[in-house]
Structure 1
């Protein structure tokens, strides 16, 4: 009976013995092990403490324990979390958005863009939250500039205030043109500085105001010329049965002949 009792006790001890851990504590992405772990096995109850890797922080101690051959995270469950960097900084005349992550923490990235009509002066348009804080400086945006413009030959630039021939123009500014006497604009009356720093159109030219000799149906010109200059007048007559619309002459103007010379059927009996 005594021998049988010892046998039962041995079996009970064998069944309740705890296993050792045959591998070191697990490797983790955000934490690193403290101490040396180069043994072949580790007894049940062995504790392993972790520290946070750069860029991460923790509230409490990160501990794993060998529990019957398995490493388990002990209560309370603590892990390292991404270190916050705070607000990355607003940009004047622009904005930013988070392109990596959802919060201002280690590993996140924000990208800046300038408002319409502004261009970025900084070489880098982004900031990344690193272990020691945000990298790079907050970018800077500057209003887009258009190159100076010259007044057209035989014309001038209409500008408010003092105009300098070599001055730059900012996004949205408008330049108007006017031609000298006896000349008219060929092209737009005004141009504006676009968001991309280019003028929306070319500078117009000033051309001499001329009127081509008209063909008068049912009438004839008196001493016609091939080309008429501004304010020159032509005269014409109408054939029998026709009469002039307003008067028997017309003046060359910037907008053409005034009035338009033509003959209409006469209402009077011939």
Structure 2
């Protein structure tokens, strides 16, 4: 019995030991990247551990062992430390040769720009845990050797020791010589001068090849200040200026320029150009321009015109369209023309105006047209038309119109009055003043009933003369319109009306027949004139047969209505 009991106890202890081990967490089970190993190989259940990142990395993990497994309590994944910008070096550049950003382990390589060289031993920097290692590299300019010249050449610039980009300028001491070689050299990126030091030689020039021209009296060499004479082929012209031989060669490049004329304006005021689209014309070539409605050719007042490019490179006329403008009509007899015609005077402009004294205005306003101001003329001198006087003839020269204040004479035909010449004047209102009509003479005045002339002294009367008439005894002259006591000679005829009003005849027999008698005066025959009144009364034993008792009657051109009296009735 004792042996089995001991065996059982050993088995129990072994099982307990294995169960305890199965609760531990092992170091090898921590598998994060870029971390430092933890201190122990295993940790008991419930223990925590801090896991640090490797050098050059930032971050950490905090883990807890729970039932044989690591649980993360806190974590900041390990990442490479960042470095600032590595720094720029003067006259140099850098680029990343390891890595793609400025973090732990990245490396940059420095190079110098053209003309500069690296004076530092180390030309790269690497991002470490504490930042960039090494110092900034230094680039210095490449050097060139000192310049030495002979006594005839002077040099300006840094001749003792040139740096990259330095320029040395050379000139001859004598003004009669010129540099033979380069007058300017520079220090190159290789530390060498771009050319050798020049010398001086006598100033001479050679005849150039001239396109479209020839040199006159060509020489092998031309001395200083010599003038080059040359001529150009037809259609070409000498370049402006005189070429002289100088230390820099010819002062002016002798060239022959083609003679051309430029068409500067192709749109303003232009309706059509022939040929279309061409703006440069050789000598002898032509074009035609047609201006638009409100424009005309400059200085010509033409709408369409041809232009020719001449041998001197100028147009025979300027090929430009300009606005149609009308000028101030100083010669049109306008009153104060500058006051009326100012401001806009382009095509279509309208202006009010008035004319000088002695001239008639032809329209209320003037209009600017291609032909100038219309109407034409604006003002016309006031004139009188030739007078048309019936039965007369102008004395002297006969014209269709006469100026103001003109004086002319006319004479009536024979048998017409007046007999003497008549002078008439054209007044400022264009009317003839002083006209007398030529009228025929009148013969003897006509007979008038119950009348006779009072002053007839001749057998023929002139126009305008009058003859007076008087009525016979007891007849009364009617002088109320249209009657008068005169007849007038007018253009060979007697004009006027004369009327003698008749008296009335009242006989005794007629009065007895009507039972009336004169109220006053003798009872005898009565001849009262026109408009006279006579008072009657009834004879004895008779009374008036009518209304009222007024028996007065008026003579009316030989007619008088006599009243009627009848016998009184018995007892009246």
Q: Same fold (TM over 0.5)?
A: yes
SS of structure 2 residue aligned to 1:24: helix
Instruction: Say whether residues 1:25 and 2:29 are aligned partners.
Output: yes
Change (3 A) 1:254 1:32: closer
Q: TM-score, normalised by structure 2?
A: 0.29
Instruction: Say whether residues 1:154 and 2:152 are aligned partners.
Output: yes
Distance in 1 (CA, whole Å) between partners of 2:47 and 2:29 is 10
Distance in 1 (CA, whole Å) between partners of 2:64 and 2:88 is 42
Distance in 1 (CA, whole Å) between partners of 2:122 and 2:130 is 19
Tell me which residue corresponds to 1:93.
91
Distance in 2 (CA, whole Å) between partners of 1:190 and 1:31 is 66
Pairing partner for 1:107 from 86, 105, 108: 105
Tell me which residue corresponds to 1:267.
none
Q: CA deviation at 1:157?
A: 1.0
Distance in 1 (CA, whole Å) between partners of 2:138 and 2:179 is 40
Change (3 A) 1:186 1:64: farther
SS of structure 2 residue aligned to 1:177: strand
Pairing partner for 2:81 from 72, 80, 83: 83
Q: CA deviation at 1:127?
A: 0.9
Distance in 2 (CA, whole Å) between partners of 1:253 and 1:75 is 93
Distance in 1 (CA, whole Å) between partners of 2:71 and 2:80 is 19
Extract unaligned runs of 5+ from structure 2: 1-21, 206-220, 225-244, 250-572
Tell me which residue corresponds to 1:55.
56
CA RMSD of aligned residues (A): 4.4
Tell me which residue corresponds to 2:122.
124
Tell me which residue corresponds to 2:40.
36
1:241-260 aligned within 5 A:
none
**Contact 2:25–2:70 (Cα < 8 Å) also in 1:** no
Bigger radius of gyration among the two: 2
Tell me which residue corresponds to 1:136.
134
Extract unaligned runs of 5+ from structure 1: 1-17, 212-227, 232-251, 257-270
Pairing partner for 2:170 from 161, 171, 177: 177
Change (3 A) 1:193 1:255: closer
Q: TM-score, normalised by structure 1?
A: 0.55
Tell me which residue corresponds to 1:201.
195
Distance in 2 (CA, whole Å) between partners of 1:148 and 1:86 is 43
Partner deviation per Cα, 1:148-204 (whole Å, 9 max, x = no partner): 111246322134xxx6x5x21222221111234465433211101223332222222
Tell me which residue corresponds to 1:4.
none
Distance in 2 (CA, whole Å) between partners of 1:208 and 1:73 is 98
Tell me which residue corresponds to 1:11.
none
Partner deviation per Cα, 1:23-60 (whole Å, 9 max, x = no partner): 823566521112132x7xx88887664222211111x4
Q: CA deviation at 1:135?
A: 0.7
Distance in 1 (CA, whole Å) between partners of 2:106 and 2:142 is 30
**Contact 2:181–2:198 (Cα < 8 Å) also in 1:** yes
**Contact 2:25–2:65 (Cα < 8 Å) also in 1:** no
Change (3 A) 1:148 1:78: same
Distance in 2 (CA, whole Å) between partners of 1:93 and 1:22 is 57
Partner deviation per Cα, 1:216-242 (whole Å, 9 max, x = no partner): xxxxxxxxxxxx9x88xxxxxxxxxxx
**Contact 1:101–1:109 (Cα < 8 Å) also in 2:** yes
Pick 1 or 2: higher relative contact order, CA cutoff 8 A, min separation 6.
1
Distance in 2 (CA, whole Å) between partners of 1:102 and 1:67 is 43
**Contact 2:169–2:185 (Cα < 8 Å) also in 1:** yes
Q: CA deviation at 1:143?
A: 2.7
**Contact 1:83–1:131 (Cα < 8 Å) also in 2:** yes
Partner deviation per Cα, 1:114-137 (whole Å, 9 max, x = no partner): 334333221222110112221110
Q: CA deviation at 1:89?
A: 2.2
- Which stretch shifts more, 186-195 or 200-209? 200-209
